[in-house]
Chains A and B, each alone.
Chain A
Amino acid sequence: DAKTTQPNSMESNEEEPVHLPCNHSTISGTDYIHWYRQLPSQGPEYVIHGLTSNVNNRMASLAIAEDRKSSTLILHRATLRDAAVYYCILRDRLNYGGSQGNLIFGKGTKLSVKP
């Protein structure tokens, strides 16, 4: 799986939008972009994923650059509960061998939300 680059930390105010960037300049045409987050003292949880088009779900939106070399996770109104480490992960949809789809995490972005 290709490597991603994220800022170590970001701060946001409660009820304001948050844009979490991720660079993946070596992404291949078969890589999906996944986001997971890890709340304090919990295991990671799935947030959203996409391939080329922007995606929306109840938790967040994912904006993917036209060249796919970067993406942005958007939290429309941050709450205190959104304080977590956010991981951007590339998943090759054609990878059928070896580790059968284990996730490769980087250090992620630690998001702090101020009341």
Chain B
Amino acid sequence: GAGVSQSPRYKVAKRGQDVALRCDPISGHVSLFWYQQALGQGPEFLTYFQNEAQLDKSGLPSDRFFAERPEGSVSTLKIQRTQQEDSAVYLCASRDSGGLQETQYFGPGTRLLVL
């Protein structure tokens, strides 16, 4: 079946603009994660959903970042009033069950450039 998809793949925003990044997880996957990856670094955790419930948002860098998954499938990461330091690749991953050792499946990411 289809893997995790993300859109758009690339986004250029002017500083101060709001952006919305979409993640379509693998159908039926309960768990969904968002990560941020700066250039030359490994991905860093942002937030975690189990179905529609956001159980952990400890990695969100500021209150300008907001994520939702209202029906327990598609998720949107929204960044308000973007800043240059928000430029990064935003990765979404999904996992089949609550099993902590289960494989996470990543999407290709959205590359955000804030000018």
Contact = CB atoms under 8 A, between A and B. Distances in A.
B90 to A, nearest CB: 10
Contact of B101 (A41, A44, A91, A108): A91
Contact of B42 (A46, A91, A95, A107): A107
A100 B109 contact: no
B41 to A, nearest CB: 6
A95 B100 CA distance: 8
B53 to A, nearest CB: 11
A98 B56 contact: yes
B58 A43 contact: no
A73 to B, nearest CB: 16
A91 B93 CA distance: 16
A105 B100 contact: no
Contact of B31 (A41, A45, A85, A100): A100
Contacts, number: 73
* Chain B interface residue bracket vs A: 20 to 34
B108 A42 contact: yes
In this complex, the member of B42, B44, B106 whose beta carbon has the largest number of chain A beta carbons within 10 angstroms is B42
A45 B95 contact: no
A106 interface: yes
Interface in A56-101: 85, 87, 91-93, 95-96, 98-101
Contacts of A102: 33, 35, 45, 48, 56, 59
Nearest to B43: A105
Nearest to A106: B42
Contacts of A100: 31, 48, 50, 55-56, 98, 100
A103 interface: yes
Interface of A: 32, 41-46, 49, 85, 87, 91-93, 95-96, 98-108
Interface of B: 4, 31, 33, 35, 40-45, 48, 50, 55-56, 58-59, 91-93, 95, 98, 100-109
Given A45-B105, A102-B33, 11 more contacts: A43-B108, A44-B93, A46-B104, A46-B105, A49-B101, A95-B100, A101-B102, A102-B45, A103-B35, A105-B43, A107-B41
